[in-house]
Amino acid sequence: MPYDDSPPPTRRARPLAVAAALAAVSLTAAGCGGEQSDRPDAAPPRPGADGVSPSASASASASASASGKPLPKGPLTGRTVVIDPGHNPGNRDHTREINEQVDMGTGRKECDTTGTSTNDGYAEARFTLDVSHRLRALLEAEGARVRLTHDADRPFGPCVDERARIGNEAKADAVVSVHADGSAVGNRGFHVILPARVKGGGADTTPIVKSSADLGARIAGHFARTTGSAPSNYVGGKTGLDTRDDLGGLNLSTVPKVFVECGNMRDPEDAALLTSESWRQKAAQGMADGVSSYLKG
Protein backbone atom coordinates (compact mmCIF):
# COMPACT_ATOMS: atom_id res chain seq x y z
CA MET A 1 0.00 0.00 0.00
CA PRO A 2 1.63 3.28 -1.03
CA TYR A 3 1.47 5.03 2.25
CA ASP A 4 -1.95 5.70 3.78
CA ASP A 5 -4.23 3.09 5.10
CA SER A 6 -7.12 4.64 3.21
CA PRO A 7 -7.53 3.77 -0.47
CA PRO A 8 -6.46 6.50 -2.89
CA PRO A 9 -9.16 8.12 -5.01
CA THR A 10 -9.48 6.82 -8.52
CA ARG A 11 -7.16 8.87 -10.70
CA ARG A 12 -6.80 9.32 -14.40
CA ALA A 13 -5.68 6.10 -16.05
CA ARG A 14 -3.00 6.04 -18.66
CA PRO A 15 -4.28 5.26 -22.16
CA LEU A 16 -2.13 2.14 -22.08
CA ALA A 17 -4.58 -0.61 -21.24
CA VAL A 18 -3.63 -4.02 -19.91
CA ALA A 19 -5.02 -5.53 -23.09
CA ALA A 20 -2.41 -3.57 -25.03
CA ALA A 21 0.25 -4.69 -22.60
CA LEU A 22 -0.80 -8.29 -23.04
CA ALA A 23 -0.56 -7.85 -26.79
CA ALA A 24 2.96 -6.56 -26.32
CA VAL A 25 3.71 -9.61 -24.20
CA SER A 26 2.55 -11.87 -27.01
CA LEU A 27 4.81 -10.07 -29.49
CA THR A 28 7.77 -10.39 -27.16
CA ALA A 29 7.09 -14.08 -26.68
CA ALA A 30 7.02 -14.42 -30.44
CA GLY A 31 10.51 -12.95 -30.61
CA CYS A 32 9.70 -9.26 -31.30
CA GLY A 33 11.44 -8.26 -28.69
CA GLY A 34 3.71 0.55 -3.08
CA GLU A 35 3.37 4.46 -0.56
CA GLN A 36 -0.01 5.64 -0.38
CA SER A 37 1.11 8.92 1.00
CA ASP A 38 4.81 9.59 0.51
CA ARG A 39 7.23 11.35 2.67
CA PRO A 40 10.97 12.23 2.38
CA ASP A 41 13.33 15.16 2.82
CA ALA A 42 16.73 16.45 1.98
CA ALA A 43 17.80 15.07 5.32
CA PRO A 44 20.88 12.81 5.19
CA PRO A 45 20.28 9.06 4.89
CA ARG A 46 19.41 7.44 8.19
CA PRO A 47 21.81 4.68 9.28
CA GLY A 48 20.58 1.13 9.40
CA ALA A 49 20.57 -1.06 12.46
CA ASP A 50 24.24 -1.80 11.87
CA GLY A 51 25.10 1.88 11.57
CA VAL A 52 25.63 1.63 7.81
CA SER A 53 23.71 3.88 5.46
CA PRO A 54 21.25 1.83 3.37
CA SER A 55 22.50 3.75 0.35
CA ALA A 56 25.97 2.48 1.08
CA SER A 57 24.83 -1.09 1.65
CA ALA A 58 22.79 -0.90 -1.56
CA SER A 59 26.00 -0.05 -3.37
CA ALA A 60 27.66 -3.31 -2.45
CA SER A 61 29.41 -5.49 -5.03
CA ALA A 62 27.60 -5.36 -8.33
CA SER A 63 28.97 -8.71 -9.44
CA ALA A 64 27.63 -10.79 -6.55
CA SER A 65 24.13 -12.06 -5.85
CA ALA A 66 22.36 -11.64 -2.51
CA SER A 67 23.97 -14.90 -1.39
CA GLY A 68 27.42 -13.57 -2.22
CA LYS A 69 27.85 -16.02 -5.08
CA PRO A 70 28.81 -14.76 -8.55
CA LEU A 71 25.84 -13.88 -10.70
CA PRO A 72 25.09 -16.23 -13.58
CA LYS A 73 25.44 -14.94 -17.12
CA GLY A 74 22.04 -14.28 -18.60
CA PRO A 75 19.88 -11.96 -20.67
CA LEU A 76 19.95 -9.31 -17.93
CA THR A 77 23.70 -9.38 -17.33
CA GLY A 78 24.92 -5.82 -16.89
CA ARG A 79 21.51 -4.45 -15.90
CA THR A 80 20.68 -3.12 -12.43
CA VAL A 81 17.26 -3.47 -10.81
CA VAL A 82 16.32 -1.96 -7.45
CA ILE A 83 13.46 -3.57 -5.54
CA ASP A 84 11.72 -1.45 -2.94
CA PRO A 85 9.79 -3.55 -0.37
CA GLY A 86 6.99 -1.28 0.83
CA HIS A 87 7.10 -0.24 4.49
CA ASN A 88 9.14 -2.08 7.15
CA PRO A 89 7.98 -4.53 9.83
CA GLY A 90 9.66 -2.29 12.43
CA ASN A 91 7.68 0.81 11.47
CA ARG A 92 4.92 -0.06 13.93
CA ASP A 93 7.39 0.40 16.80
CA HIS A 94 8.71 3.72 15.50
CA THR A 95 5.62 5.79 14.85
CA ARG A 96 7.27 9.03 15.99
CA GLU A 97 10.14 8.62 13.56
CA ILE A 98 8.03 7.61 10.58
CA ASN A 99 5.64 10.50 11.18
CA GLU A 100 8.41 13.05 10.72
CA GLN A 101 7.85 15.18 7.64
CA VAL A 102 10.19 14.85 4.69
CA ASP A 103 10.42 16.53 1.29
CA MET A 104 8.66 14.79 -1.60
CA GLY A 105 9.76 17.32 -4.17
CA THR A 106 6.49 19.25 -4.42
CA GLY A 107 5.60 19.32 -0.74
CA ARG A 108 6.13 17.47 2.51
CA LYS A 109 4.72 14.21 3.84
CA GLU A 110 5.48 11.68 6.53
CA CYS A 111 8.67 9.62 6.26
CA ASP A 112 6.75 6.33 5.91
CA THR A 113 3.73 4.46 7.29
CA THR A 114 3.11 1.08 8.85
CA GLY A 115 1.20 -0.17 5.82
CA THR A 116 -1.94 -2.25 5.98
CA SER A 117 -2.67 -5.91 6.83
CA THR A 118 -5.21 -8.64 6.25
CA ASN A 119 -8.06 -8.98 8.74
CA ASP A 120 -6.14 -11.94 10.18
CA GLY A 121 -3.08 -9.79 10.84
CA TYR A 122 -0.77 -10.66 7.95
CA ALA A 123 1.15 -7.40 7.61
CA GLU A 124 1.78 -5.74 4.28
CA ALA A 125 5.41 -5.22 5.34
CA ARG A 126 5.86 -8.99 5.68
CA PHE A 127 4.17 -9.57 2.33
CA THR A 128 6.34 -7.05 0.51
CA LEU A 129 9.58 -8.53 1.87
CA ASP A 130 8.56 -12.06 0.94
CA VAL A 131 7.62 -11.12 -2.62
CA SER A 132 10.72 -8.92 -2.96
CA HIS A 133 12.99 -11.83 -2.00
CA ARG A 134 11.29 -14.04 -4.59
CA LEU A 135 11.54 -11.31 -7.22
CA ARG A 136 15.23 -10.77 -6.46
CA ALA A 137 15.99 -14.48 -6.89
CA LEU A 138 14.21 -14.60 -10.25
CA LEU A 139 15.98 -11.53 -11.62
CA GLU A 140 19.39 -12.63 -10.36
CA ALA A 141 18.86 -15.95 -12.12
CA GLU A 142 18.71 -13.92 -15.36
CA GLY A 143 21.98 -12.18 -14.50
CA ALA A 144 20.67 -8.86 -13.17
CA ARG A 145 22.35 -7.00 -10.34
CA VAL A 146 19.58 -6.59 -7.78
CA ARG A 147 19.53 -4.30 -4.77
CA LEU A 148 16.86 -3.91 -2.11
CA THR A 149 16.16 -0.55 -0.51
CA HIS A 150 15.99 -2.42 2.79
CA ASP A 151 15.75 -5.97 4.05
CA ALA A 152 14.20 -5.39 7.50
CA ASP A 153 17.82 -4.80 8.53
CA ARG A 154 17.10 -1.40 10.04
CA PRO A 155 14.72 -0.29 12.80
CA PHE A 156 12.31 1.53 10.47
CA GLY A 157 12.01 3.06 7.01
CA PRO A 158 13.77 4.07 4.87
CA CYS A 159 11.88 7.29 4.33
CA VAL A 160 10.37 7.74 0.90
CA ASP A 161 12.97 10.28 -0.22
CA GLU A 162 15.73 7.87 0.69
CA ARG A 163 13.99 5.04 -1.16
CA ALA A 164 14.05 7.17 -4.30
CA ARG A 165 17.65 8.18 -3.69
CA ILE A 166 18.82 4.56 -3.42
CA GLY A 167 17.48 3.80 -6.90
CA ASN A 168 18.92 7.03 -8.29
CA GLU A 169 22.38 6.45 -6.82
CA ALA A 170 22.38 2.89 -8.15
CA LYS A 171 21.62 4.30 -11.63
CA ALA A 172 19.03 1.55 -11.80
CA ASP A 173 17.65 0.48 -15.16
CA ALA A 174 14.34 -0.16 -13.38
CA VAL A 175 12.90 0.20 -9.89
CA VAL A 176 9.88 -1.74 -8.62
CA SER A 177 8.20 -0.84 -5.34
CA VAL A 178 6.19 -3.79 -4.02
CA HIS A 179 2.94 -3.12 -2.13
CA ALA A 180 -0.54 -4.41 -1.33
CA ASP A 181 -3.54 -2.15 -0.88
CA GLY A 182 -5.92 -1.67 2.04
CA SER A 183 -9.28 -0.78 0.53
CA ALA A 184 -12.91 -1.74 1.11
CA VAL A 185 -14.32 -5.26 0.85
CA GLY A 186 -15.37 -5.95 -2.73
CA ASN A 187 -12.54 -3.88 -4.15
CA ARG A 188 -10.35 -6.45 -5.84
CA GLY A 189 -7.45 -6.85 -8.23
CA PHE A 190 -4.00 -5.42 -8.83
CA HIS A 191 -2.85 -2.12 -10.22
CA VAL A 192 0.47 -0.56 -11.17
CA ILE A 193 1.09 3.06 -10.18
CA LEU A 194 2.93 5.20 -12.70
CA PRO A 195 4.58 8.59 -12.08
CA ALA A 196 2.69 11.63 -13.33
CA ARG A 197 4.54 14.44 -15.05
CA VAL A 198 5.68 16.50 -12.07
CA LYS A 199 8.09 19.42 -12.08
CA GLY A 200 8.67 21.63 -9.07
CA GLY A 201 10.89 21.91 -6.05
CA GLY A 202 13.32 19.03 -6.18
CA ALA A 203 11.11 16.89 -8.40
CA ASP A 204 11.20 16.49 -12.17
CA THR A 205 9.73 13.29 -13.55
CA THR A 206 9.70 14.52 -17.15
CA PRO A 207 12.62 12.28 -18.24
CA ILE A 208 11.09 9.11 -16.76
CA VAL A 209 7.35 9.37 -17.44
CA LYS A 210 7.43 7.55 -20.77
CA SER A 211 9.88 4.82 -19.75
CA SER A 212 8.06 4.23 -16.46
CA ALA A 213 4.76 3.88 -18.34
CA ASP A 214 6.36 1.25 -20.58
CA LEU A 215 7.76 -0.60 -17.56
CA GLY A 216 4.40 -0.47 -15.79
CA ALA A 217 2.39 -1.67 -18.79
CA ARG A 218 4.69 -4.65 -19.28
CA ILE A 219 4.51 -5.59 -15.61
CA ALA A 220 0.71 -5.27 -15.65
CA GLY A 221 0.39 -7.52 -18.68
CA HIS A 222 2.67 -10.24 -17.34
CA PHE A 223 1.23 -9.99 -13.82
CA ALA A 224 -2.31 -10.57 -15.10
CA ARG A 225 -1.26 -13.51 -17.26
CA THR A 226 0.92 -15.22 -14.64
CA THR A 227 -1.24 -14.75 -11.53
CA GLY A 228 -4.65 -14.97 -13.17
CA SER A 229 -5.65 -11.85 -11.21
CA ALA A 230 -7.76 -9.22 -12.90
CA PRO A 231 -6.87 -5.53 -13.02
CA SER A 232 -8.30 -3.49 -10.15
CA ASN A 233 -12.06 -2.90 -10.24
CA TYR A 234 -11.74 0.30 -8.19
CA VAL A 235 -8.58 2.11 -9.37
CA GLY A 236 -7.37 2.86 -12.89
CA GLY A 237 -10.56 2.38 -14.86
CA LYS A 238 -9.95 -1.39 -15.10
CA THR A 239 -6.73 -0.83 -17.06
CA GLY A 240 -4.52 -2.01 -14.19
CA LEU A 241 -2.62 1.29 -14.52
CA ASP A 242 -2.97 4.37 -12.35
CA THR A 243 -1.05 7.65 -12.57
CA ARG A 244 -0.27 9.62 -9.40
CA ASP A 245 1.55 12.81 -8.53
CA ASP A 246 1.45 12.54 -4.73
CA LEU A 247 4.06 9.84 -4.07
CA GLY A 248 7.54 11.05 -3.15
CA GLY A 249 9.09 7.73 -4.11
CA LEU A 250 7.98 8.41 -7.69
CA ASN A 251 8.27 12.20 -7.74
CA LEU A 252 11.92 12.11 -6.64
CA SER A 253 13.00 9.26 -8.89
CA THR A 254 15.35 10.01 -11.77
CA VAL A 255 15.19 6.44 -13.10
CA PRO A 256 12.21 4.41 -14.42
CA LYS A 257 10.10 3.40 -11.45
CA VAL A 258 6.63 2.00 -10.68
CA PHE A 259 4.67 0.80 -7.68
CA VAL A 260 2.85 -2.55 -7.88
CA GLU A 261 -0.24 -2.93 -5.69
CA CYS A 262 -0.61 -6.71 -5.83
CA GLY A 263 -4.13 -6.87 -4.41
CA ASN A 264 -6.41 -5.65 -1.63
CA MET A 265 -5.49 -7.12 1.75
CA ARG A 266 -8.86 -6.11 3.22
CA ASP A 267 -10.91 -8.13 0.76
CA PRO A 268 -11.22 -11.79 1.84
CA GLU A 269 -10.85 -13.17 -1.69
CA ASP A 270 -7.77 -11.10 -2.45
CA ALA A 271 -6.38 -11.80 1.02
CA ALA A 272 -6.60 -15.53 0.35
CA LEU A 273 -4.32 -15.02 -2.64
CA LEU A 274 -1.88 -12.67 -0.91
CA THR A 275 -1.41 -15.11 1.97
CA SER A 276 -0.78 -18.04 -0.37
CA GLU A 277 2.89 -18.91 -0.83
CA SER A 278 2.28 -20.34 -4.29
CA TRP A 279 0.41 -17.21 -5.40
CA ARG A 280 3.17 -14.95 -4.06
CA GLN A 281 5.62 -16.88 -6.21
CA LYS A 282 3.39 -16.25 -9.22
CA ALA A 283 3.22 -12.55 -8.32
CA ALA A 284 7.00 -12.37 -8.21
CA GLN A 285 7.25 -14.24 -11.51
CA GLY A 286 4.80 -11.88 -13.19
CA MET A 287 6.78 -8.86 -12.04
CA ALA A 288 10.08 -10.46 -13.03
CA ASP A 289 8.77 -11.27 -16.51
CA GLY A 290 7.54 -7.70 -16.91
CA VAL A 291 10.86 -6.21 -15.82
CA SER A 292 12.76 -8.61 -18.06
CA SER A 293 10.55 -7.75 -21.03
CA TYR A 294 11.12 -4.05 -20.43
CA LEU A 295 14.90 -4.37 -20.09
CA LYS A 296 15.21 -6.55 -23.17
CA GLY A 297 13.26 -3.94 -25.16
**CATH number of the domain to which 94 belongs:** 3.40.630.40
Q: Round to whole Å and give the CA distance between 53 and 50.
A: 9
In a domain, 71, yes or no: no
Query: Average pLDDT for residues 86-102, to the nearest whole number?
Result: 98
Reply yes or no on whether the pLDDT at 10 is more than 60: no
In a domain, 10, yes or no: no
Q: Round to whole Å and give the CA distance between 108 and 49.
A: 26
Whether the Cβ atoms of residue 132 and residue 178 lie closer than 8 Å to each other: yes
| 259 alpha-carbon distance from chain centroid | 4
In a domain, 157, yes or no: yes
Q: Which is nearest to 249 in space by CA: 10, 93, 87? A: 87
- Helix 18-29 to helix 277-296 angle (10° resolution) is 70
Res. 201 pLDDT band, cuts 50 70 90: confident
Total domains present in the chain: 1
Res. 1 pLDDT band, cuts 50 70 90: low
pTM, to two decimals: 0.82
> SS3 helix, strand, coil % of the chain, rounded to 5?
35, 15, 45
* CA angle, residues 187, 88, 151, in degrees to nearest 5: 120
In a domain, 67, yes or no: no
Containing structural domain, residue 158: 18-60+78-296
- Active-site residue list: 261
- The per-residue pLDDT for 35 is 46
- The per-residue pLDDT for 291 is 98
Measured from the Cβ of residue 143, the count of other Cβ atoms closer than 10 Å reads 16
Q: Which run of H or E residues covers position 20? A: helix 18-29
In a domain, 4, yes or no: no
In a domain, 72, yes or no: no
In a domain, 247, yes or no: yes
Reply yes or no on whether the pLDDT at 47 is more than 50: no
Q: What is the pLDDT of residues 132-162, one digit of tens each?
A: 999 999 999 999 999 999 999 999 999 999 9
In a domain, 218, yes or no: yes
Whether the Cβ atoms of residue 124 and residue 274 lie closer than 8 Å to each other: no
